[in-house]
Amino acid sequence: MRISSALLASLTLLLVCAPQAIQAVDTLEVDGAMVWIGNADPDSAPSPLLPALGMNFPLVSQRRWGMDTGFLVTGAYYEYTGERAIPAELEQRDFATPLLLGDIRAGLHLPVGERVRIDLTAGLLLVLRVPIPLGPDAAADFGQSLMYLLARAAYPETELAVRFPLLPAFDPRLAVRAGWPWFHLWDGEPYAFWDQLIVTGVLGLVYKLPAKNAGE
């Protein structure tokens, strides 16, 4: 019940905030990223490093603080071991699994000089993974795999980022995010805490939208 409530609250928050973000934004950030997912099981695949694309929208943007929401899209192969759905190498794959990483973060903006800015934020990351079976055996394990992944979809998230000027209309933004696998506090799995940790390196390009006329 605790996990289901967290997932519902997270999804509701993202859906409510997204339309407001689209209407209120004065910048638009396009992101390229590399997503690392920790896998501490010694009998399975190495921790995958996945390329991802996405966008980020400011919900509130003040000089000293702000709130953002955004998403990244990527994909990986997974296998079901009888108890867990875990990343798999090509030869062992049971599922092709699209990943949608949606988050909402709030925190401090720390100006450095006139235009460089350091961001320290924290929030909630929602990782939606839908395993697509690649064979009849995998299809039989679809329900158990999906439930395992859904039960581990909500993560507390932290971010450290720096934004600096490049061109009048564009600012690069470099960020490192971590999604912390707090579900290990109760799931009882015998693996290191970094198992299923999600670390994301982001290179964003922030486009400053033209100012709207007061009458619009």
Q: What is the pLDDT of residues 98-124, one digit of tens each?
A: 999 999 999 999 988 878 999 999 999
What tokens were used for 202? 């982001």
**CB contact set of 192 (below 8 Å; sequence gap of 6+):** 40
Mean pLDDT (whole number) for 133-157: 93
How far apart are alpha carbons 58 and 176 in whole angstroms? 17
Of residues 23 and 206, more confidence is placed in 206
Which CATH number applies to 2-208? 2.40.160.20
How high is the pLDDT of residue 12?
54
**CB contact set of 200 (below 8 Å; sequence gap of 6+):** 33, 34, 35, 36, 52, 72, 101, 175, 176, 177, 178, 179
**What are the contacts of 5-12 at 24+ separation with CB within 8 A?**
6/154, 7/126, 7/150, 7/153, 7/154, 10/102, 10/124, 10/126, 10/154, 11/126
How high is the pLDDT of residue 1?
39
How high is the pLDDT of residue 2?
43
Mean pLDDT (whole number) for 34-48: 92
Residue 188, pLDDT > 80, answer yes
Helix/strand/coil for 196: coil
How high is the pLDDT of residue 110?
93
How high is the pLDDT of residue 214?
42
How high is the pLDDT of residue 19?
52
Mean pLDDT (whole number) for 131-141: 91
Residue 4, pLDDT > 70, answer no
Contact between 150 and 134 under an 8 Å Cβ cutoff? The reply is no
